[in-house]
Amino acid sequence: MFRPRVGPAALSLLCLHLVVSLIAGGAAPAPAAAAPGDTTWVNTYNQEFINWATPHYATFTMPPDPGNWSKVVMFLTIECPGAPDDCDPWDRIGHLRIVTPDQGDVEIARFITPYDITGGSFPGSCAWQHNVTKYKSLLQDATELRLYVESWIGGTNGWLITIDFAFIEGILDPEPYKVFNLWQQDRVVYGDPSNPVTDHILPINLDIDSDVTKTEVRVYTTGHGQGSTANCAEFCSRTHSVVADGTTFSHSLWRSNCTLNT
């Protein structure tokens, strides 16, 4: 049984963004046809303009046979429209999800857009790399993606987003072959004793295949939102936990090197 836990409770309302996927690994695949380390590139969104909180759906052709890849890396770049237009100057929540027929939308990356990055010595763009190898069973053949940035800027300002995938050939052991969406919530309020998290994210019983050799749980939480009396949104340190079969796994959602913007 899987059960989420958030604590200690904040004094103010706080929004928790949560998606958890369980990745099951089994036997290693057959050797790849090409030499290990060869890379196949797939460009998906190319300077996709986003200026409003509307999901951008598109279908792209990924390589077949996920067993050929030892690593899959997603490269995400955010740029600003050219002058006289500009970026949305505020920090916004963004994510990329895979649209699946049986698991709903499976989130594979979450990001926060940077504050104003144009003018002076500012870079004008930001780039991130996400290791999405554990989701490679969903990244094959015709794959529908859902790109979203919660921007309300409108007009000709906004974001230009480019996303590329690098499929690196080789053998991965154990081989991730299945993804389960345990919980996926855009917002869950925590820190309000009258509205506990456990009322919204309920325990789940999940049967694991008998030949599985390894499982992982991935949690995407930003803590992004706005507090009240404690101003406790992304600015407060909190410990988040997942309980599996009576064992608690905890993570302190905090960092001290935010100036690196990574």
Q: Is the pLDDT of residue 24 over 70?
A: no
pLDDT digits (tens, 9 = 90+) for 89-101: 888 889 999 999 9
Question: Rounded to 10 degrees, what is the CA torsion of 176, 201, 93, 110?
Answer: -10
d(CA 74, CA 128) in angstroms, rounded, equals 8
CATH architecture of the domain 32-172 equals Sandwich (2.60)
DSSP code for 136:
T
**Residues with Cβ within 8 Å of residue 247, at least 6 apart in sequence:** none
Percent above pLDDT 90 for the chain = 37
Task: Please tell me the pTM assigned to this model.
Answer: 0.82
d(CA 220, CA 135) in angstroms, rounded, equals 14
pLDDT digits (tens, 9 = 90+) for 109-164: 988 888 778 777 777 788 999 999 999 999 999 999 999 999 999 999 999 999 99
Tokens 């909190």 appear where?
238
**Who has greater pLDDT, 82 or 43?**
43
Q: Is the pLDDT of residue 50 over 80?
A: yes
ω into 114 cis (within 30 of 0): no
Every domain of the chain and the residues it spans: 1-28+176-262, 32-172
Is residue 74 a contact partner of residue 132, using CB atoms and an 8 Å limit?
yes
Q: Is the pLDDT of residue 177 over 70?
A: yes
Is residue 127 a contact partner of residue 77, using CB atoms and an 8 Å limit?
yes
* pLDDT at site 184: 79
**Residues with Cβ within 8 Å of residue 211, at least 6 apart in sequence:** 26, 27
**Who has greater pLDDT, 19 or 108?**
108
Q: Averaged over 174-195, what is the pLDDT?
A: 79
d(CA 20, CA 43) in angstroms, rounded, equals 26
